[in-house]
Amino acid sequence: MEQKKPVEGFFGRHASDYSKSQSHAHGLDLTALMKALKPKKSEVALDVATGTGFTAVALSKLVGHVIGIDVTDEMLWQARKLAQNEGAVNVRFELGDAMKINYANSSFDIVTSRRATHHFTDVPKFLLEAKRVLRQSGRLGVVDMSPPEGAEDFSNKIERLRDGSHAEAFTPSAWKAMLSRAGLRLVSAEVLDEPVALEKWLYPVEPGGREEESISLAWRSAPDRVRHLLKAEFKDGTIMGWTKSRIVLVASKTP
């Protein structure tokens, strides 16, 4: 039996948990993304690493047709169930890889990826693939965690302690540089800050386990600068929560 990759293993185990996540379903970043993209009923969209389908289903209410792709069967099963429950008949879900999108050049008006790129092994390659499948003047919309400058190494460290499939989350300046190198024109960028309690940040990982222990230990030795940048809150020397930042980006494929 072929062993699952870390991403497929983690999300396969937690697909049902993510399907119940109110943050993924109704987060302010989803509203901000839809507003920035300005979708039209005449357009066709692709949602990459669609997970349990919240972004794809939201798009389906604003465009003509949506395809959601993901590498994890269990997540796609939850996405199809969501679409059925929402009566979203203009969306379909398929297995697909963000680094090798299995669609022809210039197939989509919109490509999105929300809360997923920190799991991608090669984000620049994904950006080139997104550009390839976009039509001229099409838009790429990305939402992902984006630590402030100076806190990125620590932020990525604790994310990996929580979830071994985490690859890298990029600062806003790193995102802008990658988009430029991919030949995509930045249209808008907004950073949303959200204070999170440790237990909420851990979800869907259960509190009280080795992950929480390792993360608490890491926070005890975190430099003062990192604590300040992430607005960390401690009680009796124990980390209680901090501020998580997400960037909402829209970029355009120009002739």
Task: Tell the CATH topology of 6-193+245-252.
Answer: Rossmann fold (3.40.50)
pLDDT tens column, 201-236: 998 788 899 999 999 999 999 999 999 999 999 999
C-alpha closest to that of 176 among 165, 188, 167 = 188
pLDDT tens column, 184-203: 999 999 999 999 999 999 98
pTM: 0.90
pLDDT tens column, 45-85: 999 999 999 999 999 999 999 999 999 888 899 899 999 99
Q: Per-domain residue ranges for the chain?
A: 6-193+245-252
DSSP 252: E
In sequence order, what are the residues at sequence separation of 6 or more whose Cβ sits closer than 8 angstroms to the Cβ of residue 208?
Answer: none
pLDDT at residue 17 greater than cutoff 90: no
C-alpha closest to that of 135 among 241, 6, 8, 252 = 252
pLDDT at residue 183 greater than cutoff 80: yes
